[in-house]
Each structure stands twice: as structure tokens, then as C-alpha cells.
A and B are shown apart, each in its own frame.
Chain A
Amino acid sequence: MRCSLALQRCRLALALVLALHPAMAAGQDQDWGFYGGDAGGRHYSTQAQINRQNVADLDVAWVFRSGDAARFGAELANTSAQSTPILLPEAAGASLVYCTPYNRVIALDPGTGKQRWDFDPGIDRDGERPFRCRGVSYAEEPSAPAASHCRHRLYMATHDRRLWAIDARDGRPCAGFGDQGRIALHGSVDTPAGEVSNSSAPVIANGVIVVGSSIIDFARATTPRGTVQAFASRDGRLLWQFDPLQGQAHSGSANVWAPMSADAKHGLVFLPTSAPSPDYYGVDRPGANPSANSVVALELATGKLRWQFQHVRHDLWDYDTPAQPILFDWTRDGTPVPALAQLTKQGFVFVLNRLTGESLWEITEQPVPPSQIPGEITAPTQPKPIAPPPLLDGFLMPADAWGLTPLDRADCRRQLSNLHNLGLFTPISETLTLMYPGSLGGANWGGGALLGDSGILLVNVNNIAFTGKLIRETASAIPQGSHPAAGQRMRVSMQGTPYAVEIGSLQSFLGLPCNPPPWGKLVAVDLYGGTIAWETALGSVHEMGPVTAPFQIEWGTPNLGGGIATAGGLFFIGATMDRQIRAFDVNTGNTLWQHTLPNDATATPMTYRYQGRQYVVINAGGHTMFNRGQGDYLYAFALPE
């Protein structure tokens, strides 16, 4: 190979060649047995039947509808279809299994999409909390006799805080697990419906099931603790619990709502913890709140804290750790190090030694501005890796204001001139403050996809500025459907504090964002080189105006859900607000294929090879936060037979 171009590009190209070469690609030719592709959440498949050369021929292989649309009708508006199916091994029935937003587990024939069985836990649907289920987890239970019922199990944590174990072959509960197949989880009693719920799949390794939770953490000063629980996979015995707040009084949450990862070999589970409550006011929780906003490594067997790495101290921005920790081997300079990559809402990529928590890139302590709220003592510095660069530039100045016309641009410039804005980590105050990136990220729960052993991490990024302020009042209501991602302003009382908080996207009178596009993008990060290899807009805004444009306008859109990389040199992703699933060239970021779905596909796709044919499957059910309609579709794509 002639490296006549810049060394950076040359290194990237070489890395991709190595990564995509079948003989050199890391990992075995495995199918999608975990929510994140593997236990380490790499979102990577060695399947290469679908590749750059033929992806243009990709077409619908089958479509499955769960029936939720017919069954629940308008109620579906309060759901988000986020589930990524997993493919069970042959011994477990070789079904494609996923969950609906109401936690119904459905097993399909991977080749035809025909339903084999389903299991409905009949969850409590009280409360206003949106319903979603990102996935189920599979494990073979070695303590159960071979070929016995529940030798192969699926585990799912439900919206109403139950942990279920069901047989992977027929979907019937495992009687010997907890109370006839179910366990009441932390937060399932004495809390209002929906205050503590669940979104991500549990993780299972070495006979231990670890379960996080999803907690409303901005409406009250002291919310339920974000206690993580671990159970024996055999019978559901509680093995240990871990409170990420570790005794911090006058606060709550710091829960683990994003997917976790497990390293069975080293006996570790990695928790991406969220912010302590309340999100935007920390006077009553002084100090760094050290296990919140962190990656926490616990011993699987005991729950003992091995290490923690806090990426936001004393959070005042709702910068939860949003994404599954990605486990891989760092092979820079020829010495392999067990590593972990953590994406964050603030747009940083931290690369850590996963056995010690030490950063593999120098951490620079970035001085950050103090708060103006009485009694609020912010952390003087926040950690930032010296590389790779931030996924987005956290500054937005009046001169950067964007508009479709001079009028709306002037409106945005005026708004920006009146905002408090010292860049990333500007504390919210009683005057409208720029929050860029906002709580949508940066990165979010879709995480990233690691391209084999290349060190190239592909990640979808939101690029929407929010604004917010604290309001001295205590009584305020949550307007229905008010979420900044849908262009609305959210106003919530933070009970137990002197303030309510108002958050919204920064947009002109035309309803368009004030920051320049792209408003969503796909970024390829070279983890070894510490650089950004390329980036491109992700999504078209043609459906986001009052009327749908007859052509796509690739300015990028907010996005939720992740993407996957394959040895075919492709990156598949939905996630956008344009009902598309796309395939990108991992070398260049060029779009090689796309397909229009009936709804936004705000879920991470998956891929597998079944009976000689590679399929790409994605859940297309919409997201309540986007307010663009819901459905109950599961789409499978394959090359023509």
C-alpha cells in the first residue's frame, strides 16, 4: 500500500484492511447472542455476506408485526420501540427473540419472521412513564439438567420492576427461579407507578444476573436509590446489592439505566451510572458524588467495588453515563491491554484499562466555571481525555447562529447573545443558560460500534443545543409530551429544592435549531490514534417541517438508537427522525444503501447468518420522545436469494 496521503489516513486504511480481513478479524464468527452483539457491547459482526459491493441490492426479507398497534391503539404513543433482538444458539432453539415496549417476549423463525411463541408478563401499565424494553438476555443454566425445561433461559427486567426467567425454547416461566419465574426488584414497592422502571437488558455472566433500573431523577430532590442488584441465575437468590451513591444523603438515583457490560474472564461487571438527583440542583448533595456519572467496575461474584472512573463530578447537566461500556483489547504499541471505551453525553470518549480504571489517554483536568446559585459548589475541574477530540464542539457563539433565512438567523443570534454561555459545563442558573450538548447528548444509549480490532469506533452523535434555567418556584406541572428533543420546552418542579427547572431546545421562531447543521452525525473515531477519522451527517430533515419535502435534506437529525459494524465494511443504523435505515461505508462515511421504514427505527439493528443467509434486523416502532408516530414493526433485510 502506498501511503502517499497523510499518515493518518494511511494508518486508518491499514487498520481497516486488517480489521476486515477474515483471517485477521478478532473474535469468532459469532451471531448476535447479546444485546450489544457480544458481552462487551462491541456492536460488531464478523458476517460479511452483505458487503460494500452488494449492499445496494439489500431488500426486505420479511416483516413481523407484534400486534401491539392493534391491541393498544393510541396508548402506543407512550412507547418507544428500542429492542434489539438476539439470536439464540441452536441448542436453545435458534429463535430470534426480542421484547416489545410492554415487555412481551416474542420468538421468531430467523429465516421467515414467523412467530414461534410469545410470553406476556402482563405488566402494570399504570403511570405516565413511557414504556420501552431494549432487550432480553440469554444464558444456558449449567445447573439445570441437559434438555430440561429452563436449561436455556431468557432473562428480562420489566417496566414494573420484575425480573423474569423464562425458557428460551417455549417462553414459559422457569418455576425454580424466584417466585414461579419472577423476582420483585428494588423499587417495585412503595414507589409511584413508573418512578422506578427498567429499560435495558440485564447482564449475565458466571452465573450472576445483574440488573439496573431507570428512575425519574429530575422531579424530586430525593428519589429512590439507584441500587444495582445481582441474583443467582439458577434460582434468583439475591447475591449482592450496590448503591452507587454510597451513603450520599439528601439525594437519590445514580442508577444504571444504560446497558451494562460483563467481563466473565476477569469476573467483572461494568456499570454506567447516571446522575444523582435532582439533575440540575446539587446544593444538597455537596461534593463530587463519586460513583455517580461514572463507570463502576464491580466484582461479579461479590459486588465489591474494584474501581470507578467518574467522568462528571457533581453533575448539574444530566450527563448520565448513557452508553454500554465497550470492552476490547487495546493493542497500541504492540502490548495488549484489556480496555474499555466509554462514550458520554458531553461528547467525550474515555478509554480505560478495564482492570484498573486508569485512563489509557492522559486525562486533563479542565477548569470549569463556577455556579451562581446560592450554595451550589461546583467541581473546579472536570476530566477530559487529551484524545480523542470531543465528538462535537461544545461552544456556540452568537456569530455561529444558524438560520434558514436572515430573519431566523438574526433571531437565533439574538437568543444566543442573551444566553449565559461559557461552553461545556456552564452551570445552569436563574438566567437562561446554553446547554450544549444538552441531555440528549452527544452520545446516548445507542453507544458505539467497534470495527473489529481496528480501533475504529463508529458512533452516532446528537448535535442539538438546549437551553435551561432554574426558576424560583415549587409548584409546576409537566406538560404532556414536552420533551426538548421534539422541540418543546419542559418545565418540571424539583420538589424538595427552591427551584423548578425549564429545559428546551434552542430554536428560532421557525422551529429550526439555532446551531448549524448537522444536527445528528456519524463519527468515526480512531481510538488508537486519538483522532477523528471522518464524520458525516446522519439523517434527513425532510420530514421534520410542517410539510414533508419530496427529497431528502441531509442536515442530520437528532437520533436515538445505535449502529452496528460488520466485517463487510458496513455500518448499519436507523436512529434518525426520517424513518430510514442506512448502510454506510466504514472507510469513507458514504451512504451505500438506505430503506424507508413505516416508523422511525429508534433501536439498534443486529445481524446474523441463518441457514447460509445474512440478515439485518431492525425494530421500527418510533420513539415517544420524537413524537412522530409509533408502530410495531420488525424488519429483516437480506440479499436476494
Chain B
Amino acid sequence: MTIPSPHGIIETLALVDTIMRTRYSFVLLLLGLLAVGTEAVTLRVTNPEGQPINPAMVTRTPLVVPEVDTSDNGYPPHGVSNQAAVATTAFTDAGGSVTIDDTATASSIRIRAQGYVDAHIQVPLDQQDIAVVLQPMTPAQKVASYPSNVWLSQLHFGGDAELKKTFQLNCAFCHQQASPFMRNERTVDQWVSVMERMNSYGARLPEPDHKPIAELLQRELRELREHPGQVPEPRPWDAQLAQVEYTEWPLGDGFSQMHDFLLHPNGYVYVGDNLFDRIYEVDPETGAYTVYKVPHHEGARVGGILGNRFTVFPKMDNYMGVHSFAYSKKDGAIFITPSMQQALLEFDPVTKAFTIHDMPRGYYPHTIRTDDQDRVWFTLALSNQVAMFDRGTRAFTVYDLPARSIREWLILKALPLLFWLDPETRPQPSPDRDGTGLPMPYGIDVAPDGRVWVARLYANDLAVIDPKTDTVSMVDFPYEGPRRLRADADGNLWIVAFQDSLLVKYNPNSATYTDYPLPVVNEIPYALNVDRERGMVWVNGNQSDTLLSFEIESRQWQVYPMPRQRFFTRDVEISEADGAVYTSNSHFPTWQSEGGTPTLLRITPRRD
């Protein structure tokens, strides 16, 4: 039996008083028990009735943030190492308890649970056991706390399902579509203004759809605001979350966009800042990271050959546009698609040297993979092509994918002429719902048999390239929005159907599709990866603040809530060694995410 320490009680009450006096903090009832050591503290989270909350998310963030050398235009200089302010997250068990290991390092601990108001405590702690009582949210607070996907699920666009898909396809690939930022009442004109602005940034929402969508958004969001009971509750967090822990590495700042990344066999994670032409080499063991600036040719312009669509942004330093990563299984060389140039980047993780391989043609190098023959494959999203870089000959082979119509063929053939024009005076596209002129080869992967599979986002089909025969075949995709895909160990293709909110399996042997509804409503999945070793598919959530896993054999889903709101993920990497998964918060703009800074996130089995 332990006896309460008067000192602990006094400090606890002082802490309660402090928290009570802050606007967004709520009652914590802390029972200070005798301090008998500083190695570990048990945090027990209950509701006001004393019932344990399982799971509650317990996120610890250091209060003392390591100083970062930002002497290069506000960012770390090339080759300089810094230390990330690493945050960790664990979940309470069935008894509502979680262990805090280090009780001495000054930190802030946020306790969050669905339907409850966040509570915060600070480390150091001098009690062995701490009880945290979370206060229930008011109905208004509760519905406001719901993630984007459940709100979005109740926008029916007047029953026009195709219009909703058009909206999701063209508006949901940068940021959440029913976050508080979007749910604010706007006039129709204000909505139209938003759409015109987004199209100037690169969205492709057809102009004839602007006004109808503006009117529907205004009407249906207002309806939900006035009748919030129509909004379903988000999926409850799984009790098994107590078995995992998260680690987060904040990188860059609110203007960065951490797009794709790579878990390299050397143990480092390479994260690309798409807007600042930088690669962050992160050591997950220590939290140290080194930044390498991607070079560009002399005379290159901001925005590259695409032109700068973000001229009004305060900061922008992307001449290349770091997009997607892959490494050579032969020597570990890293290959990166610079989406704003006709080039392929190579980075030597040993010498830290970059090489720019200029390409003769093709526009918008996009997703990239390597094969067992040490060939580098990547999609060319704008020019409807797939490129292969042979490391032996240092030559590119470009595969033209078929146009869907003569008009599309003409548009694609006109691209060199369009790109010859100055970006300032280049005619801007006038997109239609089919994305005519932009079939957009997007995701790519190499199957175990060596064939290369490609998803075309707007064309709703798959391309397969057989390197042995050098042939290209097309396969219809009976769903909408094939964005990224991956092959599993059996050669099946796993594909996300973006605006259809589905995970889809394609068996090339039987030419059959199987679809699997996602475990959260109205998610708009961006990407996925397959853990071939363990038979798991990991799916990126971007509207529901979740990462999803699907066990292929059992067809069981697991849902992992993200530690920050408005957590938009585009890539997943899996550690072959332990099955840990990595993703990054790539919400654009980043400053709309909770915390305002992009992070690299790892989910691992809890070590204790």
C-alpha cells in the first residue's frame, strides 16, 4: 500500500489550478502518491465516473526543443546535422494505464481520447502513479472534433454521385475537404473564389462545375451545421492500440511539404521537402538528421519548367521538386523524381553526392521504383509515359502509353510546344471531368515476376510493361481513381481507388478484381504499400486522420489514429526487419495541420 505524499498533493493541486485557469484545459484530478523513484510512472486515464478509458492517446513532446541551424534561408544548410524534437505516443491499456518511462526530461504530455477534452500535464513528475480524469466534450465540441471524413460522408452533392467524385478527385489530393477550415460558412462567390484559386495552384476542377459545387457545398455544409446529429461518429479507436507506439520527427517548418520518403537499408529515412528541394536524412535511432540540398542546373527557375504556381507564397525554393524515392538493390544508390524537370536525380548515400541525369523528353517525373535488374522505373505524369533508366548504359527508355482519344493524342503531342513557351505566358489547361489530355500515369510498382505495373489516375486503367518483351498492355480498371499501387508477394496488384474510397486487388492471372471497402467512411485513399513478408497492406488515410492496415489472409482491418489532426499521408514505408511502418504528414499547406510542422511518423510494436 502507498501513502499519499502531502508535497505531491500540493504540487498536484497547483497543477490543477494552473490548468483550470487556462481556456482549453479541463479538470485533471491527480492523486499524488508517494514518490519512490523516477524511472517509470504509470498514468491512469479515466472518465469522471472512474471508468478506465481505453484507448487514450498519450503523446509526449519535449519542452526544450533542440536549436536548429536554420541559417540557409530559414532552413538547415547543406550537410549540417541537427537534432529533431522527437515526440512519442502510446495508448492506454484495458485498465486505462500507460507507462511513462522517463520522468525527468522536461516534456509536455497530452492525453487525448475520442469524445473527451484534451488534458495536458508536464514532466518532470514526482509521483509514481498519476490519475488523469478526462472531461467529456459537450455535444458541440464533440461533433466539431470529428475528422473530415465523417463530415464529408454526409455531403451528398444533391444526389449527384459523379459530381461528388469529381470534387474528391480534383480537390482532395492536397488537404482535407471537410476540416473546420472547409466547413466555415461561405457565400457562393467565396466558394467559387476558393476553387479558382485552387485551380491556379494546380487543381483541375472543371470550370463548369465550380458554381454547382459552390452552391452544394454552401447548402449541404450549412445543413450539417444546423443539424449536426446527421454527422456519424468516427470509428472508435481499437483497444489493441496499447500494443503499439508512435515516434514522430518534426522536420522543416510550416511552409515545407514532406512529400514522399524512403526507408533505406542503411537504417536512415530520406524525406523529401517538395517545396524546398531538400532531402532530410533522418536517423530514427538518435533523432539526428542531416539536410542535403538538391542541386539544379544553372539558369533553372523556381518552379522548374512547370513555372511557379505559388508566386504569392512567402517562401518557395524548388527548382527540381523532390517527389518520389527508390533505391538500388545493388548498391543502395537513391533515385529521386524531380517533378519540375526533365531529369532523374541520383543521390549517393555514402558520398552524399548528387547526380542529375537529364532526360530527352517526358514531363513530370512522378512515382519511382527499381527492379532486380537495377533498372529505375518511373511514371511521367503529364506526358502519359513511363520512363526506364538503365544504370548500366545510363540511357533512358520512354514508353508512350495510349491516348484515349484523338483530342487527347493531339494535346499530348502539343506538350513540347506548350513547354517551349514561357511559363508566364503558357496557356493554362481547361480541364474537363475526364481529364482529357491528362490520363496521368501515377503509381508504379515492379511485381515479383519483373513486370512493371502503372495506374493511370484519370484514365481509370492500368498499364503493364513487360521488360522481357518490351511490350505495353492496358487493362481496364472498373473503379475510379487508381492512384498508387503495389504488388504483393504473390504478384497480385493492390490499388487504391481514390474517389471510390476502396482498396482493390487485381489478380493478373485470373484478370479478376476484388474490392475491399475501407474501415472508415469516406476515406479518399492516396497510396498504399504492401508488407510482402507479413502479408499486410498499409493504406494511407488523408481525410480520417488514420493509417489503415489490411491483413491479406484474414481480410481484417486495423485502424491507427494519427497523433495530430489534419494528418494527410501520401506514402508508407515498411521495415523488413520488424514490420514497423513509416508515414509522413504531407498536408498541403502544412500550416493547416495541428502543430503546423510536418512530421515523419513511425508505428512500431510497443517495446515493453
Interface residues of A (CB under 8 A from B): 362, 364-370, 372, 380, 384-390, 393, 395, 397-400, 416-422, 426, 429, 431, 433-434, 530-532
B314 touches A420 (CB 8 A): yes
The one of A369, A400, A420, A531 in contact with B254, judged by C-beta atoms closer than 8 angstroms, is A369
Against A, the Cβ 8 Å flags (1 = close, 0 = not) of B500-519 are 00000000000000000000
Q: Give the docked Cα–Cα distance between A420 and B186 (Å).
A: 24
Interface residues of B (CB under 8 A from A): 74, 140, 144, 180-181, 183-187, 189-190, 193-194, 196-197, 200, 222, 225, 253-255, 311-315, 566, 589, 591-596
Q: Is the CB of A399 within 8 A of B185?
A: no
Interchain nearest-CB distance for B423 vs A (Å): 12
Partner of A362, one of B144, B186, B313: B144
Q: A420 and B187: CB pair below 8 A?
A: no
A400 to B196, CA, bound (A): 9
Query: What 7 additional pairs, Cβ within 8 angstroms, besides A366-B180, A367-B594, A530-B225?
Result: A367-B592, A370-B254, A386-B184, A389-B190, A397-B196, A422-B314, A531-B185
Question: Which of A372, A387, A399, A429 touches B196 (beta carbons < 8 Å)?
Answer: A399
Given A364-B181, A367-B181, decide whether A433 and B314 contact each other with a Cβ distance below 8 A: yes
Whether A420 contacts B312 in the complex (CB less than 8 A), given A362-B140, A369-B254, A370-B591, comes out as: yes
Contacting pair B313 A420 (CB below 8 A): yes
Chain A residues, Cβ within 8 Å of B200: 397-399
User: What is the CB-to-nearest-CB distance from A55 to chain B, in angstroms, rounded to a whole number?
Assistant: 28
> With a CB–CB cut-off of 8 A, which chain B residues contact A390?
186, 190
**B314 x A369 contact (CB < 8 A):** yes
Q: In the complex, what residue of chain A is closest to B141 when comparing beta carbons? A: A362
In the bound complex, do residue B185 and residue A417 qualify as a contact, i.e. CB atoms below 8 Å apart?
no
What's the least CB distance linking B221 to chain A, in Å? Answer: 9
B312 touching A416 by the CB < 8 A rule? yes
A389-B185 CB under 8 A given contacts A367-B592, A417-B312: yes
A397–B199 CA distance with the chains assembled, in angstroms: 12
| Chain A contacts for B592, CB-based, 8 A | 367
Q: What distance in Å separates the Cβ of A383 from its nearest Cβ neighbour in chain B?
A: 11
Contact between A418 and B311 (Cβ–Cβ < 8 Å)? yes
Select which of A380, A389, A532 is within 8 A of B184 by beta carbon.
A389
Q: Measured between C-beta atoms, what is the minimum distance from B170 to chain A in Å?
A: 18
Check if B253 sits within 8 Å of A370, measured CB to CB: yes
CB <8 Å contact, A434 and B312: yes
Q: Whole-angstrom distance from the CB of B429 to the nearest CB of chain A?
A: 14
Chain A residues with Cβ below 8 Å from B196 are: 397, 399
The answer to whether A532 and B314 touch across the interface, beta carbons within 8 angstroms, is no
From residue A262, how far is it (CB to closest CB) to chain B in Å?
A: 25
CB pair A393–B190 under 8 Å, yes or no, is: yes
Kindly state the separation between the CA atoms of A419 and B313 in the bound complex, as whole angstroms. 8
A372 engages B144 (CB within 8 Å) = no
Ordered by A's residue number, 15 sampled pairs between the chains whose C-beta atoms are within 8 Å are A364-B144, A366-B180, A367-B181, A367-B591, A367-B592, A370-B591, A370-B596, A386-B183, A387-B185, A387-B222, A389-B186, A389-B190, A420-B312, A420-B313, A422-B314
8 Å CB contact of B225 from A387, A397, A434: A387
Report the Cα distance A387→B187, complex, angstroms: 11
- Which interface residue of A362, A368, A388 has the most chain B CB atoms within 10 A? A362
A419 touches B312 (CB 8 A): yes
Shortest distance in angstroms between A505's beta carbon and chain B's nearest beta carbon? 18
B595 surroundings in chain A (CB, below 8 A): 380
Partner of A389, one of B187, B197, B313: B187
CA distance A395 to B593 in the complex (A): 20
Q: A364-B184, A367-B181, A369-B591 are in contact. Are A393 and B189 (CB under 8 A)?
A: yes
When chains A and B are docked, how far (Å) is the Cα of A537 from the Cα of B490?
67
10 closest A-B pairs by beta carbon, nearest first, are A364-B180, A421-B312, A387-B185, A420-B314, A367-B592, A370-B254, A389-B185, A380-B596, A417-B311, A369-B591
Contacts of A367 in B (CB 8 A): 181, 566, 591-594, 596
Chain B residues positioned under 8 Å from A420 (CB to CB): 312-314
Given contacts A393-B189, A397-B200, contact A372 B74 (CB under 8 A): yes
CB distance from A402 to the nearest CB of B (A): 13
Contact A369 B184 (CB under 8 A): no
| Inter-chain CB contacts under 8 Å: number | 98
Report chain A residues within 8 Å CB of B189. 393
Return B177 CB to nearest CB of chain A, in Å. Answer: 14
Looking at the assembled complex, report how far the CB atom of B569 sits from the nearest CB atom of chain A, in whole angstroms: 17
Complex Cα gap A393–B184 (Å)? 12
Q: In the complex, which residues of chain B have a beta carbon less than 8 angstroms from the beta carbon of A386?
A: 180, 183-185, 225
Q: Could you tell me the distance between the alpha carbons of A385 and B185 in the complex, rounded to whole angstroms?
A: 8
Closest CB of chain A to B61's CB: distance in Å?
13
Residues from chain B with a CB closer than 8 A to the CB of A422 are 312-314, 589, 591
Cα distance A595–B591 when bound, in Å?
49
Q: B residues within 8 A CB of A532?
A: 187
Whether the Cβ atoms of A398 and B314 lie closer than 8 Å is no
A531 to B189, CA, bound (A): 13
What is the minimal beta-carbon distance from B195 to any residue of chain A, in angstroms? 11
Q: A369 and B589: CB pair below 8 A?
A: yes
Residue numbers in B under 8 Å from A417 (CB-CB): 311-312
- Are the CB atoms of A366 and B181 closer together than 8 Å? yes
Q: Is the CB of A397 within 8 A of B197?
A: yes
> From residue B570, how far is it (CB to closest CB) to chain A in Å?
19
- Provide the bound-state CA to CA distance between A418 and B315, in Å: 11
State whether B183 touches A370 (Cβ < 8 A): no
Inter-chain CA distance A267–B593, complex, in Å, is 41
Taken together as a complex, chains A and B put the C-alpha atoms of A138 and B196 apart, in Å, by 52
- Residues on the A chain within 8 Å of B193, using CB: 393, 395, 400
With a cutoff of 8 Å between Cβ atoms, the chain A residues found around residue B255 in the complex are 369-370
Contact check, A398 vs B311: say whether CB atoms are below 8 A apart.
yes
Assembled-state Cα–Cα distance A388/B218 (Å): 12
- In whole angstroms, how far apart are the Cα atoms of A216 and B74 in the complex? 32
A397 to chain B, nearest CB (A): 5
| Assembly CA distance A366 to B196 (angstroms) | 21
Residues of B within 8 A of A531 (CB): 185, 222
What's the Cα separation between A496 and B538 when bound, in Å?
54
- Rounded to whole Å, the gap between the CB of B143 and the closest CB of chain A is 8
Q: Note all chain B residues with C-beta closer than 8 A to A431.
A: 314
Chain A nearest CB from B594 CB (Å) reads: 8
CB distance from B507 to the nearest CB of A (A): 43
Q: Are A398 and B190 also in contact (CB < 8 A) when A364-B181, A370-B596, A388-B185 are?
A: no
Residue of B nearest to A370 (CB): B254
Contact A372 B181 (CB under 8 A): no
* Contact residues in A for B187 (Cβ distance below 8 Å): 389, 532
In the complex, A380→B24 CA distance in Å? 15
Instruction: Determine how close the nearest CB of chain B comes to the CB of A127; give it in whole angstroms.
Output: 37
Contacts of A433 in B (CB 8 A): 314
B30 to chain A, nearest CB (A): 25
Q: Can you name the residue of chain B whose Cβ is closest to the Cβ of A368?
A: B591
A455 to chain B, nearest CB (A): 15
Most buried by A among B74, B566, B596: B596
B84 to chain A, nearest CB (A): 17
- Most chain B beta-carbon neighbours within 10 Å: one of A367, A369, A416, A431: A367
Complex Cα distance, B184 from A366, in Å, reads 10
Chain B residues near A365: list those with CB within 8 A: 180
Chain A residue numbers with a CB within 8 Å of B594 are 367
Chain B proximity of A431: nearest CB distance (Å): 7
Contact partners of B140 in chain A: CB under 8 A: 362
Looking at B140, B591, B593, which has the most chain A CB atoms within 10 Å of its CB?
Answer: B591
Q: Report how far A95 CA is from B188 CA in the complex, Å.
A: 48
A422 to B312, CA, bound (A): 7
Contacts of B222 in A (CB 8 A): 387, 530-531
Output the nearest chain B residue to A359 by Cβ-Cβ distance.
B140
- Residues of B within 8 Å of A364, CB to CB, are 144, 180-181, 183-184
Question: Using Cβ atoms and an 8 Å threshold, which residues of chain B touch A393?
Answer: 189-190, 193
Assembly CA distance A397 to B200 (angstroms):
9
